[in-house]
Chain A
C-alpha cells in the first residue's frame, strides 16, 4: 500500500505542451512538497503546501502551478513545456512542516 504515490512514472512530451503530474498521500500528513532533481542530481524544493495553503514557493517559472484540492493531494501542472524542464520530479509529504519527508517514486519527465 503505497504511502506517497505519483502518476505517471514516466512522461515524454513535446515542447510547448501542457502536462500534469498527480500526487496523493495516504499517511494523513499535513504538508506536501514538490521537488525537482535535475541532471546534476540536485534535489531542489519547488513548492510546499501545509493544510492546502502554499507556504513555500521557490524561484520557479510561472509555467509551473501547483494545486492542492485537499490535504492528501498535490498536483503539479506545467504549461508550455521547455527542454530544460526535463528532470525527475518528486512529490513528498511530512507529518508537519518540520518533520522528515516521505517521497514518492518520482516522475521522469522528458521534453523532446
Chain B
C-alpha cells in the first residue's frame, strides 16, 4: 500500500525555468510534509516542509504548495539551476505516535539543463 506517490519518475527543465515536482498521498491522517533532495552516493538532505494548517511555504527559490482536499503537494523551484539536478523525495508524517515516522515517495529525478 503506497501511501505517498510521486508519479513522475523524471523531469527535465531548462536552466532558469520553473521546476514543478508533484506528490500525492492517500492517508488523511498525514499532517506534516517534507521534501528532501538526494545527490548520488549521498544521503537525502532536508529541503523544505509544510504543516497541514498551511497551504504554502516559501524558502528562497523553493516553494511548497499543499492542497489538502486533493491530497496533493507540489514543490516549485524557480529559477532552476544545474545544481538542483538531483532526486527529490516527498515525505509525509502522521500525528501522535506516528509523528516520528516519515513515509517517503519513490522520488523524482530532476535534470536541469544549462
Q: Which residues of A contact B (CB under 8 A)?
A: 4, 31, 40-45, 48, 50, 55-56, 58, 90, 92, 94, 97-98, 100-106
Contacts and interface: CB of A to CB of B under 8 A. Distances in A.
Contact of A48 (B49, B101, B103, B107): B101
A105 B101 CA distance: 20
Interface of B: 32, 34, 36, 41-46, 49, 87, 89, 91, 93, 99-104, 106-107
A105 B104 CA distance: 17
B15 to A, nearest CB: 26
A55 B96 CA distance: 12
B100 A48 contact: yes
Given A41-B107, A55-B100, A56-B101, A101 B42 contact: no
B13 to A, nearest CB: 21
B99 A105 contact: no
A31 B42 CA distance: 20
A104 B43 contact: yes
A42 to B, nearest CB: 5
A105 B45 CA distance: 10
- Residue of B49, B91, B100, B106 most packed against chain A (CB within 10 A): B100
Nearest to B105: A42
B46 A43 contact: no
B89 A103 contact: no
A53 to B, nearest CB: 12
Given A43-B104, A103-B36, A103-B44, 6 more contacts: A45-B102, A56-B100, A90-B44, A98-B99, A102-B46, A106-B41
B44 A98 contact: no
Contact of A42 (B41, B87, B93, B104): B104
Given A41-B106, A41-B107, A100-B34, A4 B100 contact: no
